[in-house]
Amino acid sequence: MKGRIHSIESMGLVDGPGIRTVVFLQGCKLRCLYCHNPDTWTMGGGTQVEASDLIKKIKRYRPYFEKSGGGVTFSGGEPLLQPEFLLESLKACRELGIHTALDTAGYGFGEYEEILKYTDLVLFDIKHEDPKQYLFIAGQKEDKSLKFLEAVQNAGTKMWIRHVVVPGITDSEEHIVQLAKKIKTLQNVEKIELLPYHSMGENKYEVMNIKYKLEGVEQMDRKRTLELTALLHRELGQDFIERTDHRTESTTLHRIG
């Protein structure tokens, strides 16, 4: 089975537990305002690769996975847009005993139940809890994302929640309170991270001659992001604790127990 890959990061440290190989699959139907990889959008881009050849590359890093509790994260783009290739790769990783994670906004073509059988962790990107704001941010309705989220809940797959905080769009306290309410409806959430908006991908839009819709928006203040994380913690209650990574200067919420 062949798939299209944008790139591979061999020693990732932020996309799941431990040291990870992060496979960025090509193609995405969303057009998020803050996307820093517009070069992943087209389905026909990237490099065509056999799943078996990809697994050979991944196997080289098994010693690092085993020592650190790491594994493989399939990201994008949107990995769910290549379900057959993704599934074959996930199955091969499972056979090798390699931990698998899926970094996704949940906007795919289906086959979720089968895909989730071979997925140990879902890193789920919540764009917004309000349908109108979701459409504004992502350029698509949230319907497909909700179907995937339902499949994750049915499968009981562990989840990490990610949410990008953008000045003037998702940085209000009222929004964070509503976000907490949405997260409370979800089962098996182990970790939550608020990601401060940055504009590091803006130059790619210039090269590709695409208008950058957040031009002029300042990068999110990290101190304010920490304050909003503390608010989110208060809203979620005592089931979570705050942990600070001094290496990345970020604070995340972790479920107790």
CATH number for the domain that contains residue 75: 3.20.20.70
Q: What is the pLDDT of residue 249?
A: 72
Torsion sign over Cα 252, 37, 29, 22: negative
Residue 253 lies in a domain: no
Mean pLDDT over residues 130-135, rounded?
97
Contact 249, 222 (CB under 8 A): yes
Amino acid at 89: S
Residue 172 lies in a domain: yes
Q: What is the pLDDT of residue 247?
A: 67
Residue 254 lies in a domain: no
Residue 256 lies in a domain: no
Is the preceding peptide bond at 77 cis, omega within 30 degrees of 0?
yes
- Reported as a pLDDT band with limits 50, 70 and 90, residue 200 is confident
- Across the chain, what does the average pLDDT equal? 95
Residue 180 lies in a domain: yes
- Reported as a pLDDT band with limits 50, 70 and 90, residue 230 is very high
Domain span holding position 95: 2-244
Residue 84 lies in a domain: yes
Q: How many domains does the chain have?
A: 1
Residue 182 lies in a domain: yes
Residue 251 lies in a domain: no
Q: Which residue has the tokens 């002029």?
A: 216
